[in-house]
Structure 1
């Protein structure tokens, strides 16, 4: 926090400026001082509860200090022009309760801001005439290739679609056809390309990349605002392109930039997902599984590869929809664990993620995030149980027997998962006569999926134990699972960068870790370089450090309190 200013201060300024002891120009809804720093502007006639001159005020000072530091990169980008009550929305930002942020939060229908402009969607572009020319220059071709070869495998290390199904060609095809997808892809490629060229100066990266990130979110915002029910019905391809772009930009920003806006972007993606399936299926199918399959059929037709055109390849939008749906289901479940609420897409879990009537699940999460469906499904069930317990506790009529019964079913499923995985024989290296196997990259990622599921499953058990029994890090069962997770991550995981794909279990185990093992966890994080692309892991460590530094008598009672105490939404994906 800067030293107190000697300039005169008004007693009618925003509460942020009063907290920082800075002069406020009293503009509304965002004062000039807060606008210049890109930070939350708190104002109102009523004095906030945290302005108590004591501990809560000190915590708020620290929170504002963090926000000033976190928003430093965005201050290097041209700031929005504020005129009266209208705010030019860059697509960044989530407004906390009781505050006015520079950027409006998304509305319930999935838009990020006002609907002043209307742009119709055109088939195949996803955003009409919003962006640069469709002509792709050489520099764009280089960044596109770099994205496909290096960035996509880094952000999604377990996503290795078979070339027999088209591989990642869908991403290239959408980049060529859709300006929205291309804009979202190029800013990611540019960011990592700067790092790959040795440009690790944050100042240089800010100058060259963050304006592109802003433009990408502006394009997405305008595309979402332009949509209505008719657009989605007539052009589901464009809607899927936009959804895929939001999901990929969300994961990019979480991985390499900041968590500040993840709630806004996730809300927009989830709202768009709901609109797509509510409005795009003109024929009412039986069940959500059939509804999803019917929608996927509308995204066809599939391509056929010569000779004889007997090899069928899914369309680009079909692959994009599958990929985005898997990530959204996963993101939604992880977000629910930090919000103490049931997943918003919970109604889709049984139909899309479970094996039914001998049929494989529609969505295989292991192909995208490396962890099997069963474990992720049970994490969603624990989030539902957590919300149920809180609701009945608050009402004073919690049924402990029912709580134990529901928890036992989940625990049995998770422990059965561990027994099955640990009982599976280690696959020996096979000499295959299949050309596709010979051409597949041999980097050890595929063989890591078994370990990944083990780590996630043990973390799910820890999550369940805390939901049911409260914060008991000294219990034998908790200590056992924490130790197993740390040992797997420290001694079995290869490469160590895969920790970035297991941040949630890493944080769950770390919060409950004994003092003797905390240095080991810190070393894991410090080994991940360059630090700028491991934002998620470092944020998790900050959450863990916050828990470790609390006195025993002030210890949290659940994980919701751990994440809530940190401030903004922590999306550990």
Structure 2
């Protein structure tokens, strides 16, 4: 008999945890009450039911016994996953006094993907990539990296030797720059006159921290592109890169802990960039066990960076942000007569990583039903202040314009307020409607303007640079057009999200059906290429969860069209969430259902980014 279960099912109504999640109460286990997933459920990789109201199946009778049997099967089904996937590397990752990040935690190495996915040739990447003999060359006897400032400089000679810049690393780095980075971030095309993406190469050459984080992703996708025959050897290589990345990050974080962010500003930015890279790698292989820890550490680093400008108190978040940018160094070089300034690698890395982090923060808030952790920075960094361009342009990084994501941020704040009031028993429905109306009016105004105004595409020039980058210019036009469509998809999903927060779970509502229909139309008829769906997984999942039964095949078809599945993991995860909702369409559950509950159905913090 399974050791996790009581031997007498007739005692199932005897609840051991009175305030914990409903899963632990049903299993008569002690619950630590962590949200959104308690440690007990996380350890077993089972669904953690954390609804505020008592679920209908906790009836002390037949439904409760059926749920108990379902959870029991889930525990057994996940046994193989626990044996194979939880290869824990116990570290004491002291996060530089990061009170919001976890300490002394166990880093879980990624679970190996299913054999049929890992062994499948990645035609999408292979089409633009040759194959090589990937036999590892011996590391040179001395490090080829240049001396570093801050956190990187603290690495010992032996540390540097272990991640020396050999030929195989060169292949993986170029693979990342030429193929993987454009695939992961198709809208990120900084101007070549501003240095383009050269900062990524500079960071990888000069910073062991960044390089090792990138090698995690590159080794995984490169092996897929080659159609590696021996899956076990391939996965061991990926795990080795993961261990090295965690080890280098741990050492660098220790340096920050000892001296503080202000003394190691460049190193702190490299660490933040590395954390975001490691997180993106783990999301790519559908490993979400470390997602919360990575997110906590990145948020804490970002806060400390903005709190470190110096003696002069800045006027606000935007001033702090600009001070950090200026302290990261003078421009790399200046072209004399026009004085064109090229940002330093750290400046570009900070801008890019900040955009990804704020984007993740907004998406995570919809899962937690809490105010975004960096909400106080949103308006200053993402809004137009006095007509000036925003400090952070999310469209350039993820394809969605700032205003749409700002509205989703406001909706998550409204949802958090609603949940607090419900728990306190003092929800004012009129105030809820008043706040929601302001958001809805703003959304409708901006979406209407956006759908009626023509898309502004870059002008065709006749300069030498235009001639040399003709293909890139065409890509920029396509990017601008597709970015408009991406923003509209996010805006329609924001409408659905707002409706659920205010009116509850009503898939048959005219408003919900309209916006879900518009999302389906945009995704199936106008977005090109279909691979861009991976940049819109959150709105795709929102629409899918509220879809009518006759629309289910449309959503399945969109995911099945993304081949190979091994490089579209988040889309598959979104479909899993939808399928779970579709299997449980009981109208009686509608009163307790919301989007956050759907997102949390997979256990860990699942960031659909």
Q: Report the TM-score when normalising by structure 2.
A: 0.78
Higher mean C-alpha displacement, 371-380 vs 150-159 = 150-159
CA distance, structure 1, for counterparts of residue 224 and residue 529 of structure 2: 20
Deviation at 1:558, TM superposition (A): 1.2
Aligned with residue 381 of structure 2, among 328, 352, 369: 352
Taking structure 1 as reference, are residues 291 and 229 closer, same or farther at Cα in structure 2, changes over 3 Å only?
farther
Taking structure 1 as reference, are residues 39 and 214 closer, same or farther at Cα in structure 2, changes over 3 Å only?
farther
Q: Residues 463-474 of structure 1 correspond to what in structure 2 (within 5 A)?
A: 463-474=497-508
Taking structure 1 as reference, are residues 461 and 145 closer, same or farther at Cα in structure 2, changes over 3 Å only?
same
Q: Indicate the residue corresponding to 2:307 in structure 1.
A: 278
Name the structure, 1 or 2, with higher relative contact order (CA <8 Å, separation 6+).
2
Q: CA RMSD in A?
A: 3.2
Q: Indicate the residue corresponding to 1:61 in structure 2.
A: 72
Aligned with residue 262 of structure 2, among 224, 228, 233: 233
Are 1:377 and 2:406 matched, yes or no? yes
Are 1:563 and 2:599 matched, yes or no? yes
Q: Residues 66-465 of structure 1 correspond to what in structure 2 (within 5 A)?
A: 67-68=78-79, 70=81, 74=85, 79=87, 88-89=90-91, 108=99, 110=101, 112-113=103-104, 123=149, 126=152, 128-129=154-155, 131-133=159-161, 135-199=164-228, 202-228=231-257, 230-306=259-335, 310-426=339-455, 431-438=460-467, 439=469, 440-441=471-472, 442-443=474-475, 444-465=478-499
Answer whether contact 1:459 1:481 (CA < 8 A) is retained.
Answer: yes
Taking structure 1 as reference, are residues 62 and 345 closer, same or farther at Cα in structure 2, changes over 3 Å only?
farther
CA distance, structure 1, for counterparts of residue 333 and residue 222 of structure 2: 34
Taking structure 1 as reference, are residues 566 and 141 closer, same or farther at Cα in structure 2, changes over 3 Å only?
closer
Deviation at 1:287, TM superposition (A): 1.3
Are 1:554 and 2:589 matched, yes or no? yes
Unaligned runs of 5+ in 2: 8-22, 24-41, 47-54, 107-146
SS in 1 for 2:341: strand
Taking structure 1 as reference, are residues 255 and 62 closer, same or farther at Cα in structure 2, changes over 3 Å only?
farther
Higher mean C-alpha displacement, 438-447 vs 472-481 = 438-447
Aligned with residue 516 of structure 1, among 550, 557, 564: 550
Deviation at 1:479, TM superposition (A): 0.3
Q: Indicate the residue corresponding to 1:478 in structure 2.
A: 512
SS in 2 for 1:58: helix
Taking structure 1 as reference, are residues 424 and 436 closer, same or farther at Cα in structure 2, changes over 3 Å only?
farther
Answer whether contact 1:184 1:245 (CA < 8 A) is retained.
Answer: yes
Taking structure 1 as reference, are residues 70 and 497 closer, same or farther at Cα in structure 2, changes over 3 Å only?
farther
Q: Report the TM-score when normalising by structure 1.
A: 0.82
Deviation at 1:65, TM superposition (A): 5.1
Deviation at 1:252, TM superposition (A): 2.1
Deviation at 1:240, TM superposition (A): 0.3
Deviation at 1:211, TM superposition (A): 2.0
Answer whether contact 1:236 1:280 (CA < 8 A) is retained.
Answer: no
Aligned residues: 512
Answer whether contact 1:90 1:217 (CA < 8 A) is retained.
Answer: no
SS in 2 for 1:572: coil
Taking structure 1 as reference, are residues 282 and 306 closer, same or farther at Cα in structure 2, changes over 3 Å only?
same
CA distance, structure 2, for counterparts of residue 549 and residue 191 of structure 1: 33
